[in-house]
Each structure stands twice: as structure tokens, then as C-alpha cells.
């Protein structure tokens, strides 16, 4: 059960770090695949292949399917708010703005989640939590830089990505209310199945993907990475954290995504890490400590 004080244990901090790597890769995979695929078709392939990857695991675990339309309704709602709307808005937004800026805008998700939860009466709007999320956003901007250039459609791209972040906030609320007893693997699979049906209709009507030329191998590699790593595996981890630490806490992953991207670039690719990036990472780390609250409690006790 999620903790009542909004704190996260050590295991879930580790899971958040893993999830930040998996979801951080989605911006790269999107950018690569969009060179040959239109955005809605890409989202359809992402959720359809993600569901196909998880279905054998579902059978191996012996998890039963939802019963009737009533059983499927929660997964349709979660699929709409957690996949169809945000994936579509963000990937369309990435056709107007760079992936780095899209990841910065995605980091507003915890702030939207805190506000949505408070407005719905699910959580108290703690000053500590709002202040921590705001500090984290400042850290993201410091770490990545805005990188904004005046280009046609850029304002629209920014609004679309912010709309995706807001949708994730409502998805967190829906997950908290509708998915209390569903196992993480089942939740991940069923929401992707529901999303596949919805995206098949949307992409079919808008883009008619059967008329497209066959993409090349690099594009298919990006699509498979997006489906297997940033969708199938990521959502198993995502719903495990939701089950253990709550829907608001799992959205903190969007603050960690830019940090893990910088660290992976430095450790794996040998890319230099600047003072600005170190300062941004420190600000984000401080923000997460403020949000968690335990460090502040210990400090108060020692004074």
C-alpha cells in the first residue's frame, strides 16, 4: 500500500531511477522514428507492440482478463489519459520542438499531478511538496538549458507537450481511484491493449498508415526500442511504484529523466559534464529530498 506521508522507500527510489532511464530513451526513439513515420502511427505502433510483448508474460503469470465492459472501463480510462492523449500530444509536439525541450516540458508532470490531486481532494497541497517540485523544475532548466529558438510552430509544440504533462496528472488521479487491486503486469498490459484499439481508430482515420512507404531498419529499431523498453518494461516498473508508493510519487520520475540522460552520456559515451549540469543535478537532488521530507525532519530534530 502507498505510504500515507508521501514518502518513498529506498527500493522505489531505485525503481524511479530505472524508470527515468527507460522513459528518457523515449524522446530519442521518438525523434529517430519521426523521420519516416507520422506521429499518430508511431504512437499506435508503440502501444500495439508493447501490448504484444507483454501478453505472453501475462499468460505465464496466469493473470485473468477483465470481465465484460465493466471490467475494461478502468483500463480504457487509464489508457486514454496515460497513453493515447499524452503520447500523441508529446510526439506531435516533437515535430515542432527539439527532444531536449520536450523532456524539460515533460518535467512539469509532478507539478500538474500535485495540483490535480489537491483539486480532487485526494492529497493535501503541502507547501513542502509544491516547493520541492518547483525547485526541481528550476534544476531541470539549469541542467538542460531552455535551448529555445524562434521557429514556426514552436509555441504550439510547447503547448502540446504541456498538455501531455497535464494528462499524466489526470492519469495519476485515475490510477489512484481505479486500479487499487490490479497487479502491475495486468494493469500495464490491459491499458496498452485498450490504447491499441483507440490508436488504431485515430491513426487509421487521420493518417491511413497502410498507405505509407515501408520504413527502414533504423526506424524499426527505434520503434522496437520505444515499445519494448520505454513502454512494455517501463509500465511494469511504473505500476509497481504506483502500487507501493502512490501515483504522485511515481511522477517524480520526470524530474530524474534529464539527470540520468546527462549521467549516461558522461559514463557511457564519455561526454563532458559541465558545471551548469552539475548545478542542475544538485538542485534536482535537493528538490527530491525536500519532497521526500525525511531529511528535513531529521534536520529539525537535530536543531
To 10 degrees, the CA torsion angle through 258, 261, 83, 172? -40
Tell me the C-alpha distance between 50 and 159, whole Å.
27
Q: What is the pLDDT of residue 152?
A: 67
Cα dihedral across residues 30, 188, 229, 266: positive or negative: positive
| pLDDT-derived band at 264, boundaries 50, 70, 90 | low
pLDDT value at residue 234: 92
Distance of CA 39 to the CA centre of its chain: 17
Q: What is the per-residue pLDDT across 185-201, written as a single tens digit (0 to 9) for each?
A: 999 999 999 999 999 99
pLDDT at res. 144? 61
Q: How much is the pLDDT for 301? A: 53
* Cβ atoms within 10 Å, residue 165: 22
| Domain assignments of the chain as residue spans, ordered by start | 10-132+148-254
The pLDDT mean for the chain works out to 82
Q: Is 241 exposed, middle or buried, given 0-12, 13-18 or 19+ CB atoms closer than 10 A?
A: buried
Question: What's the pTM?
Answer: 0.81
Burial class (CB in 10 A: 0-12, 13-18, 19+), 89: buried
**What angle is formed at CA 269 by the lines to CA 267 and CA 273, rounded to 5 degrees?**
60
Beta carbons within 8 Å of 84's beta carbon, 6+ residues apart: 43, 47, 195, 198, 199, 202
C-alpha cell at 167: 494528462
Quote the percentage of the chain above a pLDDT of 70: 83
pLDDT digits (tens, 9 = 90+) for 41-95: 999 999 999 999 999 999 898 888 988 888 999 999 999 999 999 999 999 998 8
Axis-axis angle for helices 253-267, 10-33 (nearest 10):
70
Check: CB of residue 72 under 8 Å from CB of residue 184. Answer: no
Model pLDDT, residue 17: 87
Residue 184's pLDDT band, with cuts at 50, 70 and 90, is confident
Higher pLDDT, 276 or 79: 79
Rg (CA), the chain: 19
Q: Give the pLDDT score at 4.
A: 45
Task: Report the percentage of the chain scoring pLDDT > 90.
Answer: 33
Taking phi over 0 as left and psi of -120 to 50 as alpha, with beta for the rest, 145 belongs to left
Query: Is residue 255 within 8 Å of residue 140, measured between CB atoms?
Result: yes
pLDDT at 298: 47
Grid cell, residue 173, equals 488521479
Q: Which are the contacts of 146, defined by CB distance < 8 A and separation ≥ 6? A: 101, 104
In the structure grid, which three cell numbers stand for residue 190, read together?
Answer: 490491459
Q: Which tens digit of pLDDT belongs to each residue from 117-138? A: 888 887 776 777 777 778 777 7
Half-sphere exposure in the Cβ direction for 196 (13 Å, CA): 20
What is the structure's pLDDT at 200?
97
CB atoms within 10 A of CB 9: 12
Amino acid at each position: 500500500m502507498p505510504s500515507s506521508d508521501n514518502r518513498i522507500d529506498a527500493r522505489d527510489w531505485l525503481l524511479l531511477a530505472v524508470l527515468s532511464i527507460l522513459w528518457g530513451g523515449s524522446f530519442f526513439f521518438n525523434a529517430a522514428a519521426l523521420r519516416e513515420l507520422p506521429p499518430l502511427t508511431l504512437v499506435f505502433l508503440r502501444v500495439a507492440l508493447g501490448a504484444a510483448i507483454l501478453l505472453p508474460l501475462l499468460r505465464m503469470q496466469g493473470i485473468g482478463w477483465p470481465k465484460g465492459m465493466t471490467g475494461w472501463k478502468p483500463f480504457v480510462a487509464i489508457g486514454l489519459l496515460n497513453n493515447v492523449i499524452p503520447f500523441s500530444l508529446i510526439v506531435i509536439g516533437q515535430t515542432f520542438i527539439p527532444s531536449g525541450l520536450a523532456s524539460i516540458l515533460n518535467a512539469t508532470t509532478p507539478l500538474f499531478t500535485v495540483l490535480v490531486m489537491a483539486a480532487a481532494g485526494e492529497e493535501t497541497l503541502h507547501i513542502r511538496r509544491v516547493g520541492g517540485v518547483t525547485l526541481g523544475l528550476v534544476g531541470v532548466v539549469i541542467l538542460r538549458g531552455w535551448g529555445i529558438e524562434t521557429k514556426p510552430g514552436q509555441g504550439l509544440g510547447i503547448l502540446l507537450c504541456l498538455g501531455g504533462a497535464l494528462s499524466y496528472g489526470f492519469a495519476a488521479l485515475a490510477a489512484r481511484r481505479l486500479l487499487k487491486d490490479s497487479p502491475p503486469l495486468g494493469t500495464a498490459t490491459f491499458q496498452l491493449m485498450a490504447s491499441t484499439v483507440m490508436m488504431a481508430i485515430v491513426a487509421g482515420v487521420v493518417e491511413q498508415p497502410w498507405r505509407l512507404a515501408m520504413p527502414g531498419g533504423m526506424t524499426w529499431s527505434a520503434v522496437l526500442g520505444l515499445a519494448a523498453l520505454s513502454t512494455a518494461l517501463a509500465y511494469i516498473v511504473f505500476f509497481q511504484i504506483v502500487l507501493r508508493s502512490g501515483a504522485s510519487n511515481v511522477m517524480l520520475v520526470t524530474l530524474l529523466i534529464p539527470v540520468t540522460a546527462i549521467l549516461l552520456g558522461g559514463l557511457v559515451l564519455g561526454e563532458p559534464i559541465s558545471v551548469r549540469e552539475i548545478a542542475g543535478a544538485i538542485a534536482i537532488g535537493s528538490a527530491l529530498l525536500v519532497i521526500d521530507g525525511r531529511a528535513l525532519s531529521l534536520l529539525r530534530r537535530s536543531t
